[in-house]
Amino acid sequence: MSRFFSEEYADLDPYTPGEQPRDGVYIKLNTNESPFPPHPAVTEAVERESRRLHLYSDPESRELREALSAATGLKPEELMATNGSDEALFFAFLAFCSRHTPAVFADITYGFYPVFAQSARVPFREIPLKADLTLDPADYYHAGGTVFIANPNAPTGLALGRKEIEGILERNPYTICVVDEAYVDFGAESCLPLIREHDNLLVVQTFSKSRSLAGGRLGFAAGNPDLIQDLNTIRYAVHPYSVNRMTAAAGIACLAQEKYTQENCRTIQKNREWAAGALRRLGFILTDSRTNFLFARHPAVDGETLYRKLREKRILIRHFSAERIRDYNRITVGSRAEMEKLVAAAEAILKESR
């Protein structure tokens, strides 16, 4: 830290992104990216748009929001495009939490939530997941703050049904509930249809996972127009042009290729079920993941060792040091060939350690 760094942020404990290795080729199953490249129509749209890079992007992302409106059935004023869903989440911490309205979220969930709370200078309260890592909706009734729920949750992969989220919304009429649906396309129920009935619901989605655009940085928030306006107040105070021209063009082109997106999601789900079955046969214990990753532990090898030994075999997965989940690893579901290599490598590691 330089001697000039603000004392306001001296205690900040920033987010640790998954490693992006530079020492050669790895099978990368550590950051929940899609194994599928964007559709060729998306790369063509980006190339076309790059010819207009001398002009600022539209801070309102009107064309993109029209396309999102057609895709979701919501009105453009119920939607806001952001630089990844991380930006939508951070804006929500800034807009809807305060000294008197803490952020409330699970103890085991997306690791950026406590960091966003710290950066936004708002208090937060963590609610422990149950021993089996499931989330009890009743723990969030009358939460006394702004609730953030990743649904499906990360890194557990477990999902609540729409009805259960609705129960939480109904019992928090005076506070917002933000539902982070980064992984919803891989087999969970979206809460987008609840937006018209619940003015305290904000849904956040991303193009990073099911839509193969992690590097493009595109997400969106959906909620009633007043909430979206609040988020825009924050946006215009921080970063009006955060969705650049090429990313907006990529998003529009991507929404026109829904069949490609859905086929890829189905393939990921198939690969997930295949890999989960193969790992279970090797003695792994897995959660019932509704996402593009598996959350797995093995009674005979601890999480850190498995992570390290797979890394030696040039396969990257994600290990977390938090006490409750240190036995586990999070494994992104890649192509079938990648999952076969993962299973073979895990089998070899288990044999060596016997």
Q: Output the CA torsion sign for 27, 32, 33, 34.
A: positive
Both tokens of 114, joined, read 């406590």
What pairs with residue 222 in β-bridges?
Answer: 79, 203
**Rule CB under 6 A: is residue 110 a binding residue for ligand PMP?**
yes
**Rule CB under 6 A: is residue 182 a binding residue for ligand PMP?**
yes
Q: Which residues contact 29 (CB under 8 A, 6 or more apart)?
A: 293, 315, 316, 317, 331, 332, 333, 334, 338, 342
Min dist CB 110 to ligand PMP, Å, is 4
Tell me which of 57, 72, 118, 208 binds ligand PMP, using CB under 6 A. Answer: 208
Min dist CB 324 to ligand PMP, Å, is 17
Residue window 130-169: x/- pattern of binding to ligand PMP, with contact defined by CB under 6 A: --------------------x---x---------------
**Rule CB under 6 A: is residue 185 a binding residue for ligand PMP?**
no
Tell me which of 84, 157, 187, 303 binds ligand PMP, using CB under 6 A. Answer: 84
- Alpha-carbon span 156 to 349, nearest angstrom: 23
**Rule CB under 6 A: is residue 191 a binding residue for ligand PMP?**
no
Nearer to ligand PMP, 156 or 346 (CB): 156
**Rule CB under 6 A: is residue 180 a binding residue for ligand PMP?**
yes
- CA-nearest of 207, 268, 290, 267 to 38 is 207
Site for ligand PMP in 272-331 (CB under 6 A): none
Cβ atoms 310, 317 nearer than 8 A: yes
- Alpha-carbon span 238 to 219, nearest angstrom: 17
Please, is 130 exposed, middle or buried when counting C-beta atoms within 10 Å of its C-beta (0-12, 13-18, 19+)?
A: exposed
**Whose CB is nearest to ligand PMP?**
84
Binding site for ligand PMP (CB under 6 A): 84-86, 110, 150, 154, 180, 182, 206, 208, 214, 219
